[in-house]
Structure 1
Amino acid sequence: MGFEDLEPIFGEPKVEWDQGQDSVKLRPFLFHVSASDPSHLRIHVTDFHSNTWEAVKSVVQLEDMRDNIGIGGSWSEFVDYVIASIKSEDLKLVMEGHSSSGGAAYAKLVGQKLKGMPLISIPLTKLLDAAASEAMANLSLELFKAFKNMQHSLVEEQEQTFQLTKVISAEKERNETIQSQLDYYSKRQKFQKKNATDKADVSSTPMSNGLQNSPDKLKAQEASSTKVVNRVVPAYRRAKVRGAFLQDAEDAKDS
């Protein structure tokens, strides 16, 4: 039970004065939440001018806060609720009174995970002089580290994206080459299939039909027909001349 895995949290709370002090001009504030050690939660809030605040809460103190708020469930669920409330866009820094050293005399962070859920209220202690300067310096340094880590992550992500883009581009080019080859082979197969079909149609036509329809064959047929028409009939099959005298064979002998 602790804060070993807590990532640093940065944010800008909404700032307001407590009752009757709305006319006082306020500077923007930044806060930083971190684990000073596995059993303590540290919060710094500052405007980098005359208001710098701190809160350090131990596990025991947070357990007491949990009982006062009346939030049930496990410890980890309570810690998650506190962190979610701090990260909420409605987190407020409420200040009150005026300090002789400048700025407000009192301040607290007030937030809730969602509207209608329990409020958490974390009182803050005002830091002065060297303590305030150190808190502002630490917050600035931690903010810069977070920025550098984010920048490094962004560069790595961009490099990964670039490499992935190269792989995708190479794969796309390869696919286009394969598709081009497939299209070529497909057209070639269709052409070969068409040629084979044309040859099959020619070979299936009877040769006699071609010969019968050829010019030479037609001339031969015409010549043959002419010969048949003009052929001389043999003498023994000719018709006898009308008016000729016919004798019987025996009469011919007697004469």
Structure 2
Amino acid sequence: MELEDFQPIFGEPGVECSGNDLVPSRPFLFHVHAADPSHLAFHVTDFHSSTFEALLSVFQLEDMRDDVGIGGSWSEFMDYVTSSLKSRDVKLVLSGHSNSDTGAAKAKLVAQKAKGMPVISISLGKLTGSAASSAIADLSFQLFKAFKTTHELYMEGEQERSIQLQKVILAEREKSESIQRQLEQYSKRQKLPKTNSPNKDIVSASLNNGLQSPEKQAARDAGSTKVTSRVVPVYRRARVRGVLLHDTEDDEDSKKH
């Protein structure tokens, strides 16, 4: 049983005081992480006068498992511990005489996954001097690393979503342009320009003549011929001079006699 895969947990516990003289004036943060493959470290601090620590080995965690009464495998127990520390019901219980400069003498971190379920209780020892400063510095640096990792993951996710959104926008734009072109082509087919040719009447007349029946055309040609061969009246004829006229039969008979 090792703790190499344990992911760091940060949180802000609710503060409770067991003595009337304890009035915390600052909020606390806690940090739970694997100090090494066989130890789980708990640090709680207000970054001022109160800093607490607990270092539990795997064997101590096993004892806690028996005391709490959680069955199942080791991984199931650690999952329950993790879920409890990430819940909203984590509390820091302060106790012991203290003043505004040194804070509470003792503390206990209490967590449970949900109401009515087993309670995880971790007793914490107070740190002072360089040990407290070192714990605060380590918590601050780990908190920054966690923030940086979360920020990078967030930015990568945002960049990926931005790329996907740009692809969607480009596809929609191409689709819109295609629809616009189709509408323009349809509009041109529906509104063809009218032909204004100066020979329109001539062409129409030719078409009308071509469409007439052969019988009507022949009748029209015959009527035209009769009109052109009409006999001119005698009084309109021009006299022809120097023309010999043939004698009629009466004239020939008178000559014989």
TM-score between both structures, scaled by the size of structure 1: 0.70
Seen in structure 2, the aligned counterparts of structure 1 residues 179 and 62 have a Cα distance that, compared at 3 Å, is: same
Over residues 220-240 of structure 1, what are the superposed CA-to-partner deviations in whole Å (9 max), with x where a residue is unaligned? 9xx9xxxxxxxxxxxxxxxxx
2:62 maps to: 63
2:49 maps to: 50
1:138 maps to: 138
Bigger shift: residues 154-163 or 61-70: 154-163
Q: How does 1:239-250 map to 2 (within 5 A)?
A: none
What SS is found at the alignment partner of 1:5?
Answer: coil
Over residues 54-91 of structure 1, what are the superposed CA-to-partner deviations in whole Å (9 max), with x where a residue is unaligned? 11111111110010111111111110111111111110
Question: Following the alignment from structure 2 to structure 1, what is the Cα–Cα distance between the partners of residues 126 and 112?
Answer: 23
1:126 aligns with 2:126: yes
Letter in 2 for 1:36: A
1:113 maps to: 113
Letter in 1 for 2:65: R
What SS is found at the alignment partner of 2:143?
Answer: helix
1:76 aligns with 2:75: yes
What is the Cα deviation at residue 144 of structure 1? 1.2
1:94 maps to: 93
2:198 maps to: none
What is the Cα deviation at residue 191 of structure 1? 8.8
Contact 2:96–2:104 (CA under 8 A) maintained in structure 1: yes
Letter in 1 for 2:152: H
What is the Cα deviation at residue 186 of structure 1? 5.9
TM-score between both structures, scaled by the size of structure 2: 0.69
Question: Following the alignment from structure 2 to structure 1, what is the Cα–Cα distance between the partners of residues 155 and 85?
Answer: 29
Percent sequence identity over aligned pairs: 51
Question: Following the alignment from structure 2 to structure 1, what is the Cα–Cα distance between the partners of residues 186 and 11?
Answer: 63
Q: How does 1:22-33 map to 2 (within 5 A)?
A: 24-33=23-32
Structure 1 runs not aligned, ≥5 long:
193-209, 224-255
Contact 1:28–1:47 (CA under 8 A) maintained in structure 2: yes
What is the Cα deviation at residue 154 of structure 1? 2.3
Over residues 179-203 of structure 1, what are the superposed CA-to-partner deviations in whole Å (9 max), with x where a residue is unaligned? 23444566678899xxxxxxxxxxx
Question: Following the alignment from structure 1 to structure 2, what is the Cα–Cα distance between the partners of residues 4 and 178?
Answer: 57
Q: How does 1:211-222 map to 2 (within 5 A)?
A: none
Contact 1:16–1:22 (CA under 8 A) maintained in structure 2: no
Bigger shift: residues 176-185 or 107-116: 176-185
Letter in 2 for 1:98: H
Contact 1:110–1:121 (CA under 8 A) maintained in structure 2: yes
Question: Following the alignment from structure 1 to structure 2, what is the Cα–Cα distance between the partners of residues 160 and 60?
Answer: 44
Letter in 1 for 2:171: E
Over residues 137-196 of structure 1, what are the superposed CA-to-partner deviations in whole Å (9 max), with x where a residue is unaligned? 11111111112222222222222222222211111111112323444566678899xxxx
Bigger shift: residues 71-80 or 100-109: 100-109
Question: Following the alignment from structure 1 to structure 2, what is the Cα–Cα distance between the partners of residues 53 and 87?
Answer: 19
Q: How does 1:188-227 map to 2 (within 5 A)?
A: none
2:172 maps to: 172
What SS is found at the alignment partner of 1:159?
Answer: helix
> What is the aligned-residue RMSD (CA, Å)?
2.8
Question: Following the alignment from structure 2 to structure 1, what is the Cα–Cα distance between the partners of residues 124 and 175?
Answer: 64
Question: Following the alignment from structure 1 to structure 2, what is the Cα–Cα distance between the partners of residues 54 and 74?
Answer: 27
1:11 maps to: 11
